[in-house]
Structure 1
């Protein structure tokens, strides 16, 4: 009979095979951070809280209350640091978790509030409507691709994109559908920058991993360099055919030789026969009086000159 491996918070064993949720290196790093945070928070909180409590109660009782507050607050901070990798995984799977809870509890409530035949009818309508209605089907597919892209990008960060010394991956915030594909916002951790993702071949690897045609990485904020945006391009919207309603407004009895607009020349007229626009001569803005080069002497005689 084989012995099972030791179980802990971050991993389990199944028939002698260990199933690891958090990598051992990250687990050791989080524990070391938790110990440091516990002692620092407990000491600082105990000193400050003990000083405040001593002003209202006996100093010995105030010191004991401050020590208790420090231990409680330090333990809370340490627990949060230890379980932070698990919280990251829960955040990454949060849409799927909420969707699963909604389906389970919604189906339970529906079965208890309505007859079986009505429950099945409502379920058939909910499932069949996205398949029959175009906008509903496209909305469901867009949501599906948004959820898929978040997981594929996380796999890319863990597989081939550089990370820091503590092996902490970027924090994938949320995604939304766009006319060309999906747009994902990501918060980079210390040790990564936008230039690491803009290296030659990295964006194409992201597109391959996300089953897309192209991926574009840009900065999402002018204030925070850690906030970036990845656009996953699945289709080219500019090359698609667009139906125009303008032909519906053209009368059926309009001749083929009719003018398209008042400024269009008649059909069959050569451009050489069309007179060009006349240019007006600009007025002379020089208002200074012109002085002749050889002025003639005046014929009038002033009598005062002979006085």
Structure 2
């Protein structure tokens, strides 16, 4: 029988009716790391705890107590490393989870403190006013695009951008809206550099995946090469027509013979009235040189005469 796997839209695989949240190679890699971290923590923490406890207790009791403390901390580290692939998913969706919990608990608190018509009125005001006011609506949509862009960039790094041998994806840091789009900070993992993103048309692929017009990648820190910044452009804010406020400051009752600035160009100048004659620079006559003093020539073999510089 052939082994076939079906992937769900969320990146999970379904083999034989069992839902696999973590891929087998990733799970084995993290278990190996967790085992190493457990023994390192047990040895270091246990030795330090046993050394400190031996000063207050019997050496044998102190060694046993240090081993227990080291094993407990090692087990905590082991559990965190093994569960990190699942915890990383919660970290990726942390803003959405917080907003969802706030909406659910906020609705329950609102329903318990106000009648039904009051709750519906508050929800209509909270949702309707931002949707009706243009600046508020655009601000809310800008923050929503920041959440969407973080997930799209994570999909790009997992799909077509090279990672290291263990498959660790870059850390997507917070994003903020800009007049042209969004700005996202990314911390690269070992095995990936800024040049990898700039070559082979990766920037264009990022723009396509983020539903944007253009993506610019640059360093965000002079000290750390792993910290980069992605500027995602969706619109051109400088291309819009802006009405200048300067004409509003010109008085309407200004007389026709009002004095103008000396730096203003002449009004009514007709270029054909200007004579078409080449302008030549005046020639300077050479300055006559002062004759040398024969006595100076005799005393100064080099011909230096102080009177020439008087």
Taking structure 2 as the reference length, the TM-score comes to 0.81
Rounded Cα–Cα distance in structure 2 between residues aligned with 1:221 and 1:89: 27
What residue number does 1:103 align with? 103
RMSD (Å) for aligned C-alpha atoms: 2.6
What residue number does 1:228 align with? 228
The C-alpha deviation readout for 1:22-76, integer Å capped at 9, x for no partner, is 2221111000000011011102211221111011111111111101111011111
Rounded Cα–Cα distance in structure 1 between residues aligned with 2:25 and 2:264: 75
**Given the alignment of the two structures, is residue 250 of structure 1 paired with residue 250 of structure 2, yes or no?**
yes
Q: Which runs of 5+ in 1 are unaligned?
A: 1-10, 274-289, 296-307
- Name the SS for the 2:64 alignment partner: helix
**Given the alignment of the two structures, is residue 190 of structure 1 paired with residue 190 of structure 2, yes or no?**
yes
Alpha-carbon contact 2:12-2:22 (below 8 Å) kept? no
The worse-fitting range, judged by mean Cα deviation, of 145-154 and 255-264 is: 255-264
What residue number does 1:35 align with? 35
What residue number does 1:200 align with? 200
Alpha-carbon contact 2:185-2:228 (below 8 Å) kept? yes
Deviation (angstroms), 1:292: 4.6
What residue number does 2:66 align with? 66
**Given the alignment of the two structures, is residue 92 of structure 1 paired with residue 92 of structure 2, yes or no?**
yes
What residue number does 2:304 align with? none
Rounded Cα–Cα distance in structure 1 between residues aligned with 2:47 and 2:268: 97
Deviation (angstroms), 1:116: 1.1
Rounded Cα–Cα distance in structure 2 between residues aligned with 1:182 and 1:239: 18
Alpha-carbon contact 2:14-2:20 (below 8 Å) kept? no
Rounded Cα–Cα distance in structure 2 between residues aligned with 1:31 and 1:260: 83
Q: Which runs of 5+ in 2 are unaligned?
A: 1-10, 276-288, 295-310
Rounded Cα–Cα distance in structure 2 between residues aligned with 1:190 and 1:39: 24
What residue number does 1:153 align with? 153
- Evaluate the alpha carbon distance shift between residue 261 and residue 181 of structure 1 in structure 2; reply closer, same or farther with a 3 A threshold: farther
Rounded Cα–Cα distance in structure 2 between residues aligned with 1:176 and 1:260: 48
Rounded Cα–Cα distance in structure 1 between residues aligned with 2:257 and 2:194: 58
What residue number does 1:284 align with? none
The C-alpha deviation readout for 1:194-230, integer Å capped at 9, x for no partner, is 1110113100000000000000111111111111111
Taking structure 1 as the reference length, the TM-score comes to 0.81
Rounded Cα–Cα distance in structure 2 between residues aligned with 1:111 and 1:262: 73
- Name the SS for the 2:74 alignment partner: helix
Rounded Cα–Cα distance in structure 2 between residues aligned with 1:213 and 1:61: 68
Alpha-carbon contact 1:12-1:18 (below 8 Å) kept? no
- Evaluate the alpha carbon distance shift between residue 217 and residue 253 of structure 1 in structure 2; reply closer, same or farther with a 3 A threshold: same
How many residues of Structure 1 are paired with residues of Structure 2 in the alignment? 270
1:1-307 equivalences in 2 (<5 Å)? 16-254=16-254, 261-270=261-270, 272=274, 292-293=291-292
Alpha-carbon contact 2:206-2:215 (below 8 Å) kept? yes
